[in-house]
Amino acid sequence: MRRLPWLFLPVGILAADMASKAWIVATLAEGESRAVINGFFHLTLGYNRGAIFGSLYWIPVKVRFALFAVAGLVALLYFGKLFLEEKTPTWDRVALGSILGGALGNGLDRILRGGVVDFLDFAFGSWHYWSFNLADSFILCGAILYGVRMILAAKGEPQKTEN
Write out pLDDT tens, residues 105-138: 998 998 889 889 999 999 998 898 889 999 999 9
Q: Please pick, among 17, 92, 121, 136, the residue that the annotation labels catalytic.
A: 136
User: Per the domain annotation, does 162 fall within a domain?
Assistant: no
Distance between CA atoms of 113 and 46, rounded to whole angstroms? Answer: 12
| Domain tally, the chain | 1
User: Per the domain annotation, does 112 fall within a domain?
Assistant: yes
Q: Report angle CA 114, 116, 141 to the nearest 5 degrees.
A: 150
Contacts 24+ apart (CB under 8 A), 38-41: 39/123, 40/122, 40/123, 40/124, 41/120, 41/121, 41/122
User: Per the domain annotation, does 161 fall within a domain?
Assistant: no
Residue 46: what pLDDT? 95
The whole-number average pLDDT for the span 61-67 is 71
User: Per the domain annotation, does 160 fall within a domain?
Assistant: no
User: Per the domain annotation, does 79 fall within a domain?
Assistant: yes
Q: Structural domain of residue 106, as residue ranges?
A: 4-154
User: Per the domain annotation, does 159 fall within a domain?
Assistant: no
Q: Report angle CA 23, 129, 91 to the nearest 5 degrees.
A: 75
pTM for the model stands at 0.84
User: Per the domain annotation, does 57 fall within a domain?
Assistant: yes
Q: Please pick, among 92, 109, 118, 121, the residue that the annotation labels catalytic.
A: 118
Is 118 tagged catalytic? yes
Instruction: Answer whether residue 40 shows pLDDT above 50.
Output: yes
Residue 1: what pLDDT? 46
Distance between CA atoms of 33 and 43, rounded to whole angstroms? Answer: 5
